[in-house]
């Protein structure tokens, strides 16, 4: 039986000793380290390694550690269990032509090779991510609590102040993302911001960003969604200053300079990250040859001088492709040949990221920070991209309404696993590879795509709805909220070192 306060047995009186002068300090420290973890769970994570069964769990300095199968490529030589029919021709050089698994059987096959497990509710979860113990002193940790906040786990909350630019104030918006121009009827998608669970993520401050990157450079490496991100950054910075286009090519590779800040942004077009070539010249709708073990020197030979590299890839890997290793055809995706091993998109996706990270780790003079911007899911509903699928929702999902699963989960998991390998090698070379997790937040934004509002209506030509790219302005602007915070953390890390 518990005693009431008045019934507690009294301790035997003892002679009082003079407390040492250090006692008040010890008491204060005890209170400090007892109370702070109650309000800042992220501090507890660094005190005790703890499993987090969330795919997007952020760890200090964006380093991830995963329990990883050490097999260098468990997919190599694995024969698919079916012959995949080639999809319809794709549209131009953009990424609308996503081809997800077409049946529940396909989905089972596609997920069979990932390191996932299924809960009792039937929901698939990614490999568990472990948070390492903190090496900082208690005082340093208390002064930098937000550095340990998981930026990428949270919800979308109303933001009546948005947007922060329009299609009339920014000229960097491409037509097919100019949803305002083409009459997207709902503008509510502009009135949300990302709120992490354990802290606040400030809205992008263009002046602060320009000061942080003064004298530096950023490279975007990837496909048209990477370009979408870069254009969002230019639009947000346009509230302060416009850049000068100093591109020396007329293709997708672009370079912009902010002369007053000695800062430049470059876009390296590399939708497959590795060396690739068209099977039919000047026709991007035909299959590509992917040389999965060879660097794409269009970007790898020009990246050494950059301070920050944001690397990403995704939807192009669902297109018809032929896979080469050691210059030898080893398989394909959606090819009609019967005498070629039919593999899955996850096979080329894993190998491409491994090769891209190997390229960065092999550069003699590269000293920059590499951010892996993770896969941003599309939101086709009511059909696939080429069968009338559309994205007509007008509000974000709640976290409880949508789970990462199927091929989206597989692609995301591959990225985390390959990032872990790159980080391990990078540490030996003094290079930094960071996680820039856009997957969880964008999974919840079915309302931010152009849909049919990336062009004027054309009744003579059937055009697929765009549920891959993002309206500008739109949810993708939050990626630059993330980017600014990640750069601030890099600056803080330098000041602590």
Choosing from 223, 406, 466, 477, the catalytic residue is: 466
Question: Which helix (H) or strand (E) covers residue 193, if one does?
Answer: strand 192-196
Q: How far apart are CA 77 and CA 80, in angstroms?
A: 9
CA 322 centroid distance within chain: 26
Q: How far apart are CA 490 and CA 218, in angstroms?
A: 14
CB atoms within 10 A of CB 173: 24
Q: How far apart are CA 47 and CA 60, in angstroms?
A: 12
Residue 68 · residue 131 · CB < 8 Å: no
Choosing from 469, 477, 478, 481, the catalytic residue is: 469
Question: In the chain, what is the greatest distance between 2 CA atoms, to the nearest angstrom?
Answer: 98
CA 471 centroid distance within chain: 18
Question: Which residues, in sequence order, are bridge partners of residue 92?
Answer: none
Q: How far apart are CA 293 and CA 353, in angstroms?
A: 10
CA atoms within 13 A on the CB side of 307: 14
Active site residue 113: no
Opening angle at CA 392, ends 169 and 438, nearest 5? 65
Residue 288 · residue 277 · CB < 8 Å: yes
Could you tell me which of 349, 290, 287, 286 has the C-alpha nearest to residue 317? 349
Question: Which residues, in sequence order, are bridge partners of residue 135?
Answer: none
φ, ψ of residue 321 in degrees (nearest 5): -145, 155
Choosing from 56, 62, 153, 224, the catalytic residue is: 224
φ, ψ of residue 133 in degrees (nearest 5): -65, 145
Tell me whether the omega of the peptide bond preceding residue 473 falls within 30 degrees of 0, making it cis.
yes
Active site residue 466: yes
**Catalytically active residues, by annotation:** 224, 466, 469
């Amino acid at each position: 039986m518990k005693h009431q306060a008045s019934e507690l047995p009294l301790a035997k009186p003892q002679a009082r000793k003079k407390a040492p002068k250090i006692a008040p300090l010890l008491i204060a420290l005890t209170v400090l380290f007892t109370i702070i973890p109650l309000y800042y769970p992220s501090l507890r994570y660094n005190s005790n390694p703890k499993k987090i069964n969330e795919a997007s769990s952020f760890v200090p300095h964006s380093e991830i550690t995963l329990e990883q199968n050490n097999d260098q490529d468990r997919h190599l030589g694995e024969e698919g269990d079916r012959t995949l029919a080639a999809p319809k021709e794709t549209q131009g050089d953009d990424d609308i032509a996503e081809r997800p698994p077409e049946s529940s059987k396909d989905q089972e096959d596609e997920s069979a090779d990932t390191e996932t497990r299924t809960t009792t509710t039937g929901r698939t979860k990614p490999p568990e991510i472990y948070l390492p113990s903190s090496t900082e002193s208690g005082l340093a940790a208390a002064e930098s609590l937000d550095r340990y906040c998981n930026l990428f786990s949270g919800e979308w909350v109303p933001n009546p102040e948005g947007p922060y630019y329009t299609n009339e104030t920014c000229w960097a918006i491409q037509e097919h993302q100019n949803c305002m121009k083409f009459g997207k009827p709902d503008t509510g998608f502009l009135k949300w911001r990302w709120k992490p669970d354990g802290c606040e993520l400030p809205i992008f401050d263009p002046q602060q960003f320009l000061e942080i990157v003064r004298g530096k450079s950023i490279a975007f490496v990837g496909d048209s969604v990477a370009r979408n991100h870069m254009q969002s950054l230019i639009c947000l910075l346009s509230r302060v200053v416009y850049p000068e286009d100093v591109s020396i090519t007329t293709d997708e590779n672009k370079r912009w300079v902010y002369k007053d800040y000695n800062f430049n942004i470059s876009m390296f077009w590399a939708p497959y990250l590795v060396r690739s070539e068209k099977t039919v010249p000047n026709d991007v709708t035909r299959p590509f040859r992917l040389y999965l073990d060879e660097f794409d020197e269009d970007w790898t030979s020009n990246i050494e001088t950059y301070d920050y590299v944001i690397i990403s890839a995704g939807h192009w890997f669902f297109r018809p492709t032929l896979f080469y290793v050691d210059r030898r055809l080893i398989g394909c995706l959606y090819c009609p040949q019967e005498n070629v091993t039919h593999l899955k998109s996850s096979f080329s996706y894993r190998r491409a990221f491994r090769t891209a990270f190997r390229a960065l780790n092999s550069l003699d003079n590269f000293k920059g920070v590499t951010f892996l911007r993770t896969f941003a899911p599309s939101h086709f509903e009511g059909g696939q991209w080429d069968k009338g699928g559309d994205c007509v929702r007008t509000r974000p999902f709640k976290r409880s309404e949508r789970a990462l699963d199927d091929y989206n989960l597989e692609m995301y998991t591959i990225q985390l696993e390959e990032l872990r390998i790159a980080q391990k090698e990078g540490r030996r070379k003094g290079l930094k590879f960071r996680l820039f997790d856009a997957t969880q937040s964008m999974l919840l934004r079915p309302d931010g795509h152009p849909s049919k509002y990336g062009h004027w209506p054309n009744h003579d030509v059937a055009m697929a709805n765009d549920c891959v790219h993002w309206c500008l302005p739109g949810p993708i602007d939050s990626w630059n909220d993330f980017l600014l915070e990640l750069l601030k953390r890099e600056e803080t890390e330098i000041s602590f070192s």
